[in-house]
C-alpha cells in the first residue's frame, strides 16, 4: 500500500522558488480568466487591453515605471527588515511622513532646485526614520511587537497629513479643497521622455547596494545571523538591540525617501490620497520575494504593471471589485507557489503485515 505525504525541504533553492512563483502567477491568471468567462466577459480581450496599457505605448511604460518607484522603495524597506525577521507594516506611514516633511521644505523655500531637492530628500528620509524610532526602541529593548506599533502609526500619519492639507498648509489659492500648495522644486524628467522622473533610478541603485551588502559585507552577515538566531548572534558578540534599531531606522528612512521622491516627481503637492497603498504593495512584494532583492525588483515591476492595467481597465468600465479580485487571485497564486516550493511529495510504501513504512 502506497501513501503520499508532503515533506519540508531541508534547504530552499532560489531558482525553484522563482519557478513556483511564476507558476503560481500563471495559475492565478487562469483562475481569474475562468471567473471572467463565467461572468460573460472575454478574458483574452481584457488581457490584451492590460498588456497594451502597460507596453503598447511610451506613455504606458512611463506610467508603469512611475507607479513602480514607490512600490519598489517601500518593498526594499520592508525586505531589509525581513532579513532580521522584523515585520515593518508601517511603510505607508513612513512614506506619508517623508512626503509631509518634504512638503514643509518645498512650500516654504524657493531656493535653487538641486539644493531644495537635496534638503527635501534628507528631511524626508529623516522623517521616515523618526516615525519608526519608537517602534524600533520598543522592539529592541522591551520586546514589543513591531507589527502592532508600526501598523497603528500608519493611521496617525494619515491623520497628520489630512490635518496639514485641510488646515495649516491648505492651498487657499487653488480650487483643490484638500491639498497643500505645490512644492517649489520637482525632480527632472529623463531626457527624451515625457514625464518619467530620475527618481526611478533610486530603487535600482538601492537594490544593487543592498544586494552587495548582504553578499559581501560584515554588516549584512550580522543582520542575517540575527534573523536566523538572535541568541546565537548575541553569543557571538553582536549587539542585537543596537542592530535592530539601526536596521529599523534604515527601513524608515528608505520609506520616507520614497514619499519625497513621489511627491517631487509625480504628485507635486501633498494630499490625503498621495499614497495609493504603496506601503501595502511594497510589503506584499517584499513578502513574496522571499529575501531576494532581484526577485523584489521583478515583483515590484509586475505589481506596478497590474495596478496600472487595473486603472486603465477601470476607465474602460470594468468594475473596481473585479479588478481587485483578479489582483488578489494572482497574488494568492504567487503566495501558494512560494509555499509549495518549500515542500516535496514523498511516496511511502506501507506494509500492513509488519505495520511499517518503507
User: Is 47 a member of any domain?
Assistant: no
- When the pLDDT of each residue in the chain is averaged and rounded to a whole number, the result is 88
Nearest C-alpha neighbor of 82 from the set 298, 302, 251: 251
Predicted local confidence at residue 44, as pLDDT: 85
Summarize pLDDT for 162-177 with one digit per residue, the tens. Answer: 999 988 899 887 766 6
Confidence band, pLDDT 50/70/90 cuts, at residue 130: very high
Predicted local confidence at residue 294, as pLDDT: 85
CA pair distance 331, 193, nearest whole angstrom: 31
User: Is 87 a member of any domain?
Assistant: yes
CA pair distance 66, 266, nearest whole angstrom: 8
H-type helices in 272-348, by residue range? 278-289, 293-315, 320-340
User: Is 340 a member of any domain?
Assistant: no
User: Is 99 a member of any domain?
Assistant: yes
User: Is 191 a member of any domain?
Assistant: yes
State percent of the chain over pLDDT 90: 54
* Contact between 274 and 100 (Cβ < 8 Å): no
Q: Helices 133-142 and 146-166, interaxial angle, to 10°?
A: 160
Predicted local confidence at residue 178, as pLDDT: 79
H-type helices in the chain, by residue range? 14-38, 43-55, 58-82, 91-106, 113-131, 133-142, 146-166, 201-216, 218-228, 230-235, 240-262, 278-289, 293-315, 320-340
User: Is 3 a member of any domain?
Assistant: no
CA 76, distance to chain mean position in Å, is 7
Q: Helices 14-38 and 43-55, interaxial angle, to 10°?
A: 130
State percent of the chain over pLDDT 70: 94
Q: Helices 320-340 and 293-315, interaxial angle, to 10°?
A: 160
Mean pLDDT to the nearest integer, 85-112: 95
CA pair distance 25, 17, nearest whole angstrom: 12
CA 245, distance to chain mean position in Å, is 20
Predicted local confidence at residue 350, as pLDDT: 58
Pick from 74-78, 270-274, 299-303, 321-325: least confident: 321-325
- Name the domain count of the chain: 1
Mean pLDDT to the nearest integer, 214-227: 93
Predicted local confidence at residue 199, as pLDDT: 96
Nearest C-alpha neighbor of 128 from the set 163, 166, 148, 154: 154
Predicted local confidence at residue 226, as pLDDT: 94
Distances (CA, A) of 9 to 100, 339, 346: 46, 11, 11
User: Is 104 a member of any domain?
Assistant: yes
User: Is 161 a member of any domain?
Assistant: yes
CA pair distance 21, 60, nearest whole angstrom: 25
Nearby residues of 155 by Cβ (< 8 Å), 6 or more positions away = 93
Supply 193's cell numbers. Answer: 521622455
Q: Residue 232's domain spans which residues?
A: 67-294
Mean pLDDT to the nearest integer, 249-256: 97
Confidence band, pLDDT 50/70/90 cuts, at residue 337: confident
Pick from 97-106, 114-123, 193-202, 313-322: least confident: 313-322
Summarize pLDDT for 18-64 with one digit per residue, the tens. Answer: 788 888 888 888 988 888 888 788 888 888 888 888 888 898 899 99
Predicted local confidence at residue 39, as pLDDT: 78
Amino acid at each position: 500500500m502506497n501513501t503520499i505525504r508532503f515533506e519540508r525541504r531541508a534547504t530552499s533553492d532560489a531558482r525553484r522558488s522563482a519557478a513556483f512563483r511564476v507558476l503560481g502567477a500563471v495559475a492565478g491568471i487562469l483562475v481569474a480568466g475562468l471567473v471572467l468567462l463565467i461572468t460573460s466577459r472575454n478574458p483574452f480581450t481584457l488581457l490584451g487591453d492590460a498588456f497594451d496599457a502597460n507596453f503598447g505605448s511610451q506613455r504606458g511604460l512611463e506610467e508603469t515605471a512611475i507607479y513602480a518607484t514607490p512600490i519598489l522603495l517601500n518593498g526594499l524597506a520592508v525586505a531589509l527588515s525581513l532579513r532580521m525577521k522584523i515585520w515593518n507594516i508601517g511603510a505607508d506611514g513612513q512614506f506619508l511622513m517623508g512626503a509631509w516633511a518634504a512638503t514643509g521644505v518645498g512650500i516654504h523655500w524657493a531656493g535653487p532646485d538641486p539644493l531644495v531637492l537635496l534638503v527635501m530628500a534628507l528631511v524626508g528620509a529623516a522623517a521616515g526614520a523618526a516615525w519608526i524610532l519608537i517602534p524600533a526602541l520598543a522592539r529592541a529593548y522591551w520586546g514589543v511587537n513591531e507589527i502592532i506599533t508600526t501598523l497603528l502609526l500608519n493611521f496617525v500619519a494619515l491623520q497628520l497629513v489630512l490635518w496639514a492639507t485641510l488646515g495649516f498648509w491648505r492651498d487657499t489659492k487653488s480650487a483643490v479643497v484638500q491639498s497643500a500648495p505645490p512644492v517649489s522644486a520637482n525632480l527632472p524628467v529623463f531626457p527624451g521622455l515625457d514625464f518619467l522622473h530620475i527618481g526611478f533610478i533610486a530603487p535600482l541603485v538601492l537594490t544593487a547596494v543592498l544586494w552587495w551588502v548582504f553578499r559581501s559585507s560584515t554588516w549584512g552577515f550580522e543582520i542575517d545571523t540575527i534573523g536566523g538566531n538572535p541568541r546565537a548572534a548575541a553569543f557571538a558578540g553582536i549587539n542585537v538591540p543596537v542592530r535592530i534599531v539601526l536596521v529599523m531606522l534604515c527601513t524608515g528612512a528608505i520609506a520616507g525617501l520614497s514619499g519625497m521622491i513621489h511627491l517631487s516627481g509625480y504628485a507635486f503637492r501633498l494630499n490625503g490620497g498621495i499614497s495609493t497603498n504603496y506601503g501595502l504593495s511594497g510589503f506584499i512584494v517584499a513578502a513574496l520575494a522571499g529575501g531576494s532583492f532581484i526577485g523584489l525588483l521583478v515583483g515590484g515591476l509586475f505589481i506596478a504593471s497590474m495596478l496600472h492595467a487595473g486603472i486603465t481597465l477601470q476607465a474602460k468600465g470594468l468594475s473596481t471589485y473585479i479588478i481587485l479580485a483578479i489582483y488578489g487571485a494572482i497574488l494568492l497564486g504567487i503566495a501558494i507557489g512560494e509555499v509549495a516550493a518549500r515542500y516535496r511529495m514523498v511516496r511511502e510504501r506501507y506494509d500492513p503485515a509488519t505495520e511499517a513504512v518503507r
